Structure 1
Amino acid sequence: MDDRVLDAETLGSSDAVREYFGEGYELVREYARMLMDEGELRGLIGPREVPRLWERHILNSAAVVPHLSGARSVADVGSGAGLPGVVVAIMRPDAEIFLVEPMERRTAWLTEVVEALALSNVEVKRGRAEEYHGAFEVDAVTSRAVGALSKLVRVSMPLLHVGGELVLLKGRNVRDEFDGARKVLRKFGAGEPDVLPGETVDGVEATTVVRVQRRK
C-alpha cells in the first residue's frame, strides 16, 4: 500500500479523530473506506486526494457541524461525493438532511452510501438547487467547493426559511467574493457574512466557514 495512504489511514484511526467523532466514528470510518476504495474510480475525488482524505475531506467537512447546532433540517447543495452532507448526517442523526446533487452517477453513489450506512435521516434529491425552490425549506444550507458566493446565495437562499442560515465551507480568501455577492445578499435582507474558524483536531489545519442569515 502507498505510504501516503497509510498516513491518511493512520490519522483516521488516531485517538484524536476517534474522540472527535465519538459515537459516529465507525460510520465515518466506513464512509472514508468507501471513498478510498471507489472515490477515484468513480470520479468523485482525484488521485492526489486519496492520501489526504481524512484531513482535506472528512475532517474539513466535519468543521461545519459545530456551526449547525441549531439546525434541525439541512440541505447540502452540490453534494457530490457527500462532502459535507454525509459527514453532517452522521454527526447530526437528529437532523433531517437533504443531499441535493444534479449528476446521476453522483446521486447513485450517494444512494449507495446512505443505504450502506443505514442513514435514516437522509434523503437524496437529484437536481439543481433552483429546481427545489418552493418544494421545501430548511434551517440551514451547506455546500463545499461548489462555486462563488454570489452563485451560492442566489441558488441556495430560497431553500431557507426566513431566519435560516447558509453555512458554507469556503477558501481562506472568501472575503474577496463579498463585493460580488452584495446585490443578491441585499435581495434576501442579509447583512455582512460572518467568517468563522472551522477547527477540528489538533494538527489539522482549520478551514474557513462563512455564515449568513436569510432575513426576508
Structure 2
Amino acid sequence: MKFFTGDDFQLNTNLEFIKEEVNGRPIVYIDNIYKNPDRVVEYLQNCPIISHKPQDPQAANGVEFFDGRQAITEAYDRQWFDIHREASTLLGISQNTYFQGGCMFNMTMLNSLPKGHWFPHTDPHCINGLVYLNKCNDYGPGTSFYNSFNYNGGGEHFNPWCDDADETHCILDRYNCAVFFNGDIYHSMRLVGNTFIDRPRFTEVHFLTY
C-alpha cells in the first residue's frame, strides 16, 4: 500500500497569473501550480474511477468509456482560496464566490473514440477552474470552447458525443497548468486520437459558484 500526505498536494508559492482574451472573454492561466505534480498523478493512478452521476443500466459509462471523480478533503492546500479570489477578480466577477474546499479530480478513460465532441455544456453562475495532469498529452488538446447551440445529445454519462457543435477555441492541456474561465461559456474536454484509449485522463476541477 502506498502512503501519501498533504505535503504531496502542496502548491508552489509566488505563482504568476496570466490573463488573456479568447473570443472576447477573459481566461486566466497559472503554470507550475503543484510543487510535486508527479506525486499527485501517482495518487490518482492508484484510485478507481467512481461515477459521480446516478448509473443507468443503459448508460454508456462503464461500458464504452469510464468517467468519474475522486475527491480528497484531507490533503487540500488552503492557498487555493487566495488563488480563487485572484482568479475571480481577473475574470471580472465582483460577487463573492463559494468553494467548499477539497481536491476534486475528474478521471476519464475511453475504450474507443467515436466522432464528435464530448458533451459541450455550460455551468451557469460558476467559475470553472481546471488543472491538467496528463504528461502523455502535454500541449495536446485540453478544453474546447463552442458557440452557443441547442444540445441534443444523450447527456454526459448516457451518450455524450455530439457532432453539431461549433468549436471556436481549444485550450492546450499543459501539464501542471491551472486555467480559470466563466462557466457560462459552452465548453467540454477535448478528446482527440488514441491518447486516452485505455489510459486515464486526469483533470482537477474547481467550481466557484456565485
Query: TM-score scaled to structure 2, two decimals?
Result: 0.26
More relative contact order, 1 or 2 (CA 8 Å, 6+ apart)? 2
Structure holding more strand per residue:
2
Structure holding more helix per residue:
1
Query: TM-score scaled to structure 1, two decimals?
Result: 0.26
